[in-house]
Chain A
Amino acid sequence: MTSRQLLIRDVLVLLAFAGWSLALPAYASEFVVSMALTCLMYVALSSSWGLFCGSTRYLSLATSAFFGIGAYSTALLLGDFGWVETILMGSAAAALVAVVMGAAVLHLRGTYFAVLTFGMTELIMHAVTYFEKSVTGTVGRVLTVVPERDTIYLTVLALAVLSVAVSIVVRRTRFGLALMGIGADEQRAQTLGVNTRWIKIAGFAITAAFAGAVGAAMAVRWTYIDPHTVFNPFIGFQTVLITLIGGVLTLWGPLLAAVIFSVLAESLRLQFPQIYLMSLGLLLIVCVLYLPGGLASLRWETFKGWWYDTRDWAKDIQRDLTGENEREKQRIKRREKESHFV
């Protein structure tokens, strides 16, 4: 397919997906709608995460920090401002924090970066807890003015569509190419004239803006928030997990994985929470080991490859058990000996 055809295909898929989710609340039950809401939340989080962290290979675990900042800004602002302004402000606050954080830590790569972003998230969480305990004297806030369910659903849907649309667009711009270049080889990108510092900070801020907006929109769903629920590192882990399992570099992988995950989560979490988390861990390990490109990289050839691997392995064991390997070795030895005489 040419690039133009790909673009048309992507836009059509996105439109179909958006239209279907738009129609969902009209006929589905309360439970399905709440599941769809979780799903849309993770679609928005993971495709915006993949936009920066996937292409540059900077593994950020700070998603929950931005999510929490968004949620807290809703808690503080919603009474005084309108719904849309609140979400915009939450997203702006998260982006601002990301710019500051990015300027400080984006010169470190790899594991250092991952560990630092995780540390920063915990630092922000503990700082907010401490501030609440000692200054305002309470932990957690109750949201009194809550918009209707449909408003929340539509907002999160709009954010999810927007984040996928931004990913589609960014891939085709110089900015997206620069991000890919940084992921492939940062020094080379620098040599070729990419201002890596600003590109990285901008990419990080875009990711954070989406996470902040999603946090701001989802905060009202809980009606009561405290630092441990909205800054829960699990939100960040799960985003990373979904993106990795879906396929970091692909557009539709994270979406696919988000759907699978929210179905799995909602069906297992209430009855067997530990089993759900254990299967999550197992899935992650198996995925990293056997499918490093993610679900979206799954092709017919992948299955063939697995089949051949298993067959070779079984054959090897069979040869070992029947003593064929030993005989083969002796044959080679004998042949070597004979070739000496010639």
Chain B
Amino acid sequence: MSISAWLELIASGLITGGIYALVALGLNLQYGLMRILNIAHGEFLMVGAYLTWLFQTSYGLSPLLMVPVSFVVLLVLGVVVHFLCFRRLTATSPNLDVFEARGLMVAFGLMFLVQNFASWMWGGELRGYDYMTEPVKLGEAQFAANKLLVFFLALVFSGALIVLLRMTLLGKGVRALMQSPIGAQLMGIDTKRLHPLMFGIGLGLSGIAGALLSMAYTITPFMGQPYTVTALIVITLGGFGSMGGALIGGLFLGVIEALGMHFSNPSLKALLSYAIFIAVLLLRPEGLFTRKGRKA
């Protein structure tokens, strides 16, 4: 294999990896901060994709414009969902273990609800539209312009979230809550405002990911679940609650999948990612990139 073919393979892996990272960051925010393992995360990605498709085909709005719109719509949706379900759950659960198990069940319920709502509303067939499909040459390798754009935007938004968490006071509060919820509350951090907001931002990120995905791939009501599973794999790779880990884990998984698919065969893709997932969970449940001695 020539060097340019290698580069092309790795770059295409990175492009899918960028989306994985964006989805995983949102899920990681929810799990790391609130211990809500949101199995329905991918379904909200699907909602974002459908919103973009709907506005693009019926009003001719540019998909780029829909990226912030779907972020805001899903943020609001997330705050509402948190208000309706998880607020009561936090108040009534006796301890964190019970909260986690019940939260998982509520998320399963949400998954059924949202997925079937979409397929009832828009039908089960494949949808899509053309947007920036002309190829772009980079050196000797060729890529579709929309995929490059998707990758670029995915990295920008992932970076923005990480910068937000590292640099601002809001981010400091969130990180403090991740490290020690009680300690952070004693320092005057308002969980009642921060939790819904962060749940909303997590969903908003999946909305962005959905809007980006719809530019380059076809969409169906059932597209969400594989992304949820991939996001789970990514956050186990990177360590629950670690944002940098999720970004690197996402890109890493994308590359591994691309290489694995090239050297074996495409039907092994799912098998490969599940095998990595189970191996990591069994051998290093604290994540590949976390330092020893620090609890993730």
Interface residues of A (CB under 8 A from B): 57, 59, 104-105, 108-112, 114-116, 119-120, 122-123, 126-127, 129-130, 133, 237, 240-241, 244, 273-275, 277-278, 280-285, 288-289, 292
Q: Are B285 and A108 in touch, CB under 8 angstroms?
A: yes
Q: Are A110 and B101 in touch, CB under 8 angstroms?
A: yes
Q: Are B281 and A288 in touch, CB under 8 angstroms?
A: no
Given the known interface contacts A110-B97, A278-B117, A284-B109, the answer about A122 and B89 at a Cβ–Cβ threshold of 8 Å is: no
B232 contact set on A, CB distance < 8 A: 115, 119
A278 contact set on B, CB distance < 8 A: 112-113, 116-117, 120
B225-247 toward A: CB 8 Å interface, digit per residue (1/0)? 00001001000000000000000
Given the known interface contacts A108-B281, A278-B120, the answer about A285 and B100 at a Cβ–Cβ threshold of 8 Å is: no
Which one of B105, B108, B120 lies within 8 Å of A275 (CB-CB)? B120
In whole angstroms, how far apart are the Cα atoms of A116 and B281 in the complex?
8
Q: Quote the shortest CB–CB distance from A281 to chain B (angstroms).
A: 3
Q: Are B116 and A130 in touch, CB under 8 angstroms?
A: no
Which one of A119, A280, A283 lies within 8 Å of B274 (CB-CB)? A119
A127 (CB) vs chain B CBs: closest residue: B271
In whole angstroms, how far apart are the Cα atoms of A278 and B116 in the complex?
6
8 contacts between A and B (CB under 8 A): A109-B97, A110-B97, A111-B35, A115-B37, A123-B271, A127-B271, A284-B112, A292-B92
Q: Are B92 and A59 in touch, CB under 8 angstroms?
A: no
In whole angstroms, how far apart are the Cα atoms of A53 and B85 in the complex?
24
Q: Are A284 and B278 in touch, CB under 8 angstroms?
A: no
**How many inter-chain contacts with C-beta < 8 Å in the A-B complex?**
104
Q: Quote the shortest CB–CB distance from A247 to chain B (angstroms).
A: 14
Total interface residues in chain B, CB < 8 Å: 37
Given the known interface contacts A123-B274, A289-B89, the answer about A244 and B105 at a Cβ–Cβ threshold of 8 Å is: yes
Is B267 engaged at the interface, CB distance under 8 Å to the other chain?
yes
A133 (CB) vs chain B CBs: closest residue: B267
Q: Quote the shortest CB–CB distance from A333 to chain B (angstroms).
A: 24
Q: Quote the shortest CB–CB distance from A284 to chain B (angstroms).
A: 4
Q: Are B112 and A288 in touch, CB under 8 angstroms?
A: no
B115 (CB) vs chain A CBs: closest residue: A277
B35 contact set on A, CB distance < 8 A: 111
In whole angstroms, how far apart are the Cα atoms of A313 and B211 in the complex?
40
Q: Are A59 and B285 in touch, CB under 8 angstroms?
A: no
Q: Are A288 and B106 in touch, CB under 8 angstroms?
A: yes
Q: Quote the shortest CB–CB distance from A154 to chain B (angstroms).
A: 33
In whole angstroms, how far apart are the Cα atoms of A282 and B114 in the complex?
10
Is B270 engaged at the interface, CB distance under 8 Å to the other chain?
yes
Q: Quote the shortest CB–CB distance from B118 to chain A (angstroms).
A: 9
Q: A119-B278, A122-B274, A285-B110 are in contact. List 17 more A-B contacts (CB 8 A).
A: A57-B101, A109-B97, A114-B101, A115-B37, A123-B275, A237-B108, A240-B108, A273-B116, A274-B117, A274-B120, A275-B120, A278-B113, A282-B113, A284-B106, A288-B102, A288-B105, A288-B106
Which one of B89, B101, B120 lies within 8 Å of A59 (CB-CB)? B101
Which of B85, B106, B110 has the largest count of A CB atoms less than 10 A from its CB? Answer: B106
Q: Are A126 and B270 in touch, CB under 8 angstroms?
A: yes
Within 8 A of A (CB), among B199-222: none
B102 (CB) vs chain A CBs: closest residue: A288
